[in-house]
């Protein structure tokens, strides 16, 4: 063992090793342990230091004890750095020492996360009630409360899979297919507002269908800042109708006939009828100006876009989808006309944009209408858009029997027509009224073909 003695001035005296050989002052020795551990080792009794030892030659001792301590600390840091590099090169990365038998924190957290993800993934098998339904509509039904934008995002990113393969939102489901639904974060139940049940005037109901008269100002479904629409309120009012779904949609400010299906099979058949043009939908619209044709067909492609404020709009564009509407003149006043509007296609805001395109916007339309005329009509009592889904014709989804369902003109709109009737009539107005019944609905389409 090397012995160190201090002289009277506090310095290190000359040192000797066993056998009288000049020694070296061994600061610390860090062995390269096969277990990856670290510790301190006593200096070699022979004075033979290991390769990783940082030693201070005894021939040049520090002048005082403080200097000796500084030298030892410096050599210690150097040895630690050397040993760390050796450990990394050998694949022995340093790790925090844990008590024997203690579980790995990192491993347990990863396991919990993996188990949670596995539990959150859902697999839904397509049954007979969902056959033929679009994937996006299926997910909207299964993931109630999830925004439509988020559903489209997980479908297009490939997180939703059908039989382990990617699919598009418009994919039609087949019986027996397995739909993989990823974990979807929804609002906490305690935070979600309860839906207030509400019933609406029923125009027709049987085991397959529920047809209601939708009032203006009610959205058909929630979204875009609307917590609950007509379909959510109807489900809350009729909880026994577990598969109640919208067959088609109406704008929020449009009133009138709205079809709902009680069963998936009825919904699928009605969707096929709408797609194949096997239904007739007629609307009543009061428009600005003088409509000169008794019948006019407008074919103008429509393109959807969003404004800088995020508002959804539609305009006539060559890049848009083909759209066709047939307009028939019912009544005429000096500054307005009442039209029957038959949809041959079902684009968003189709009637409203087609009438704006012809220069005859709908009364009270705050998006596509004339502001000055709307203001004048408001003084007459018109507080909403004058567009009403008056009649629909279709075949019953089960029996195939032809059906015609009508919704009466709301009192607020009829009052506007009465005010217009009170104004002096022109010769053309009298001629049209002579061939029309008092009710615009019952007089629509008599003696005419589409």
- Give me the active site residues, please: 251
Distances in Å between the Cα of 66 and the Cα atoms of 77, 80, 253, 333 are 17, 21, 89, 109
What is the CA angle 235-230-258, rounded to 5? 105
Spatial distance between the Cα atoms of 206 and 356, rounded to a whole number of angstroms: 39
Which helix (H) or strand (E) segment holds residue 311: the answer is none
Contact between 254 and 385 (Cβ < 8 Å): yes
Distances in Å between the Cα of 160 and the Cα atoms of 123, 124, 135, 216 are 10, 11, 10, 36
332: buried, middle or exposed (CB in 10 Å: 19+, 13-18, 0-12)? buried
Would you list the DSSP string of 208-243?
SEEEEEEPTT--SS-BTTBS--HHHHHHHH-TT-TT
Spatial distance between the Cα atoms of 168 and 135, rounded to a whole number of angstroms: 7
Closest C-alpha among 447, 386, 374 to residue 414: 386
- Sheet strands (E) in 300-372: 302-306, 312-316, 324-332, 336-343
147: buried, middle or exposed (CB in 10 Å: 19+, 13-18, 0-12)? middle
Spatial distance between the Cα atoms of 384 and 364, rounded to a whole number of angstroms: 6
Spatial distance between the Cα atoms of 225 and 310, rounded to a whole number of angstroms: 12
Q: How far apart are the first and last CA of the chain?
A: 114
Would you list the DSSP string of 143-174?
STTS-HHHHHHHHHTT-SEETTB---TTPBP-
Residues 6+ apart with CB under 8 A from 14: 22, 58, 61
Which residues are paired to 22 by β-bridges? 16
Which residues are paired to 281 by β-bridges? 343, 392
Contact between 262 and 204 (Cβ < 8 Å): no
């Amino acid at each position: 063992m090397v012995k160190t003695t201090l002289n009277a001035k506090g310095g290190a005296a000359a040192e000797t090793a066993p056998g009288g050989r000049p020694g070296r002052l061994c600061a610390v020795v860090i062995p390269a342990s096969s277990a990856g551990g670290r510790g301190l080792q006593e200096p070699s009794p022979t004075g033979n230091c290991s390769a990783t030892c940082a030693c201070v030659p005894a021939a040049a001792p520090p002048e005082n004890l403080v200097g000796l301590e500084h030298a030892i600390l410096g050599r210690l840091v150097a040895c630690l750095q050397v040993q760390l590099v050796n450990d990394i090169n050998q694949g022995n990365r340093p790790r925090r020492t844990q008590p024997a038998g203690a579980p790995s924190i990192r491993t347990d957290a990863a396991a919990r996360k993996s188990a949670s993800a596995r539990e959150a993934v859902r697999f839904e098998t397509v049954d007979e009630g969902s056959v033929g339904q679009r994937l996006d509509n299926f997910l909207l039904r299964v993931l109630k409360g999830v925004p439509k934008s988020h559903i489209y995002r997980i479908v297009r990113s490939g997180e939703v899979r059908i039989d382990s393969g990617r699919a598009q939102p418009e994919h039609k489901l087949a019986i027996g297919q397995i739909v993989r639904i990823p974990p979807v974060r929804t609002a906490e139940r305690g935070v979600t507002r309860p839906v207030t049940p509400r019933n609406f005037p029923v125009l027709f109901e049987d085991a397959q269908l529920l047809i209601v008269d939708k009032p203006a100002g009610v959205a058909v479904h929630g979204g875009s800042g609307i917590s609950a629409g007509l379909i959510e309120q109807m489900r809350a009012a009729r909880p026994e109708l577990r598969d109640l779904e919208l067959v088609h949609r109406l704008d929020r400010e449009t009133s009138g006939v709205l079809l709902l299906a009680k069963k998936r099979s009825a919904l699928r058949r009605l969707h096929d009828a709408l797609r194949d043009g096997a239904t007739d939908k007629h609307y009543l619209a009061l428009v600005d100006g003088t409509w000169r044709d008794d019948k006019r067909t407008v074919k103008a492609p429509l393109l959807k876009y969003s404004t800088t404020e995020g508002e959804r709009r539609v305009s006539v564009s060559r890049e848009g989808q083909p759209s066709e509407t047939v307009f028939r003149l019912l009544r005429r006043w000096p500054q307005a006309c009442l039209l029957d509007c038959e949809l041959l296609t079902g684009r968003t805001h189709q009637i409203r944009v087609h009438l704006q395109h012809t220069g005859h916007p709908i009364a009270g339309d705050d998006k596509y209408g004339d502001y000055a005329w709307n203001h004048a009509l408001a003084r007459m009592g018109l507080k909403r858009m004058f567009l009403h889904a008056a009649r629909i014709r279709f075949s019953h989804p089960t029996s195939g029997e032809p059906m015609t369902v009508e919704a009466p003109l709301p009192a607020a709109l009829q009052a506007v027509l009465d005010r217009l009737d009170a104004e002096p009539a022109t010769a053309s107005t009298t001629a049209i009224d002579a061939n029309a019944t008092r009710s615009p609905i019952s007089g629509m389409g008599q003696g005419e073909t589409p």
